[in-house]
Structure 1
Amino acid sequence: MARRKSKAKQEEELFQGLAGMAMLGGILGTYSLTKSWQPSIIVGFVGVVGIIILMVIIQQKRAERLKRSGITEIDKMDGVQFEHYLGHLFCSQGFKAEVTKAAGDYGADLVISKDGKRIVVQAKRYKKNVGLKAVQEVQGAKAHYRANGAWVVTNSNYTEQAYQLAKSNGVRLIARDELVEMLLVMKEKFSASKKAANAKRTA
């Protein structure tokens, strides 16, 4: 089954395609004006160099963003550490979070609640793509815990089968890209509250 591309990968491929079209347009445009291949090739070469520089800058910014989020630390965690970390993450979003027992969790690693709604969450700290089993288990947990919603959260991605089953069963899948966004928001909130506390102490 084909792997669904991440948002970052899709954006990178789109940028490469647009950059390639712009470079080709520059070469053809220069030739149509000068009727000479020499300046056209020079324009093409400059365009290639410019594209490479832009791609390096984009990769550097992406690497800095990932470092800021702390996702690399999550990649080194074991499953239990990941579950507890997600508990802190959801608490920062205003949820009340409870990590279930390691044995006999009935398919839910966490149960979170807010505004009278309960959601069961399965945490998958994986190196490979998460498959159908996680979606099936969390759907079963939803019924067992009488929850309103069911989520699966991973530091990786999902198989296309998992995406299809989740869609038909109303299960929310949070993959690496969305998790990074959530982590960055949590870090910003923590930083803002820390600055506010320091300001109060110095006032």
Structure 2
Amino acid sequence: MFLMFAIVIAIVIMVGFQRRERLKRSGIGEVDKMEGHKFEHYLGHLFRSQGYNAEVTQAAGDYGVDHLLTKQGKKIAVQAKRYKGNVGLEAVQQVEAGKAHYGASEAWVVSNSDYTDQAITLAKSNGVRLIARKELIEMMLKMNAPTKPTTTASSGSVSQVAAFPSPKKDNMCGLCGGTMIKRKSTKGEVYACSNYPGCKNIQAI
């Protein structure tokens, strides 16, 4: 009996550890600390990693839409909500109205949190997609997953580069919204996040 109890405890501890490591790997902790506009820009990187063309709308008078995504001729209106509590039905109402204004075919709400029962019910009746914390973490893990090792023809060395959005384009960290700075390392020059060591986003140049 004691042995069985010890095994169960060990499994619970192991599962808890794996869950914490998974969350850490996703970068959701940094997202939870972001200001609203940084979260919006971060989502732009996230959507681009999935093959969307992501356009951030103007900060004021955006008609309830923070991003306009286009892919294969389809336009999607997206509202970003970085919340501590559950997102209410107002977000669904706003993005649905914004969808009509921008002539989009779909409407999404994306949050690092979850949604109220009212928001879920309204979204179902209006065909609005709600991306909550769990799905967002899955998307982040996919973006942050390392690519397959590549071999350099000249040296024959193998390197592994994380699939973060390129900092060369807009100089923003794809994990926390900080600034990617060119720094020297033992392997030469790299781009490193200005929030290091809190954010460990490092990219080869």
> 2:147 aligns to what?
192
CA distance, structure 1, for counterparts of residue 153 and residue 128 of structure 2: 43
Q: Please tell me the residue identity of whatever aligns with 2:73.
A: G
> 1:4 aligns to what?
none
- Where in structure 2 are the equivalents of 1:8-27 lying within 5 Å? none
Q: 1:159 aligns with which of 79, 92, 116?
A: 116
Superposition deviation, residue 50 in structure 1: 2.3
CA distance, structure 2, for counterparts of residue 149 and residue 73 of structure 1: 28
Q: Greater Rg, structure 1 or structure 2?
A: 1
- Where in structure 2 are the equivalents of 1:98-113 lying within 5 Å? 98-113=55-70
Identity of aligned residues (%): 58
CA distance, structure 2, for counterparts of residue 167 and residue 110 of structure 1: 21
Q: Please tell me the residue identity of whatever aligns with 1:160.
A: D
Structure with the largest fraction of strand? 2
TM-score of the two chains, using structure 2 as the length reference: 0.72
Q: Deviations over 1:122-175 (max 9, x none)?
A: 000011000100000000011000101000000010111111110110000001
Superposition deviation, residue 49 in structure 1: 2.7
**Unaligned ranges ≥5, structure 2:** 157-205
Q: 1:58 aligns with which of 15, 25, 31?
A: 15
Superposition deviation, residue 61 in structure 1: 0.2
CA distance, structure 2, for counterparts of residue 74 and residue 86 of structure 1: 10
Superposition deviation, residue 200 in structure 1: 5.3
**Unaligned ranges ≥5, structure 1:** 1-42
Aligned Cα RMSD in Å? 1.5
Q: Which has the higher contact order (CA 8 A, sep 6+)?
A: 1
Q: Deviations over 1:65-111 (max 9, x none)?
A: 01001110101100000000000000000000001111000000110
> 1:73 aligns to what?
30
TM-score of the two chains, using structure 1 as the length reference: 0.73
Superposition deviation, residue 202 in structure 1: 3.8
Structure with the largest fraction of helix? 1
Q: Which runs of 4+ in 1 moved over 6 A?
A: none
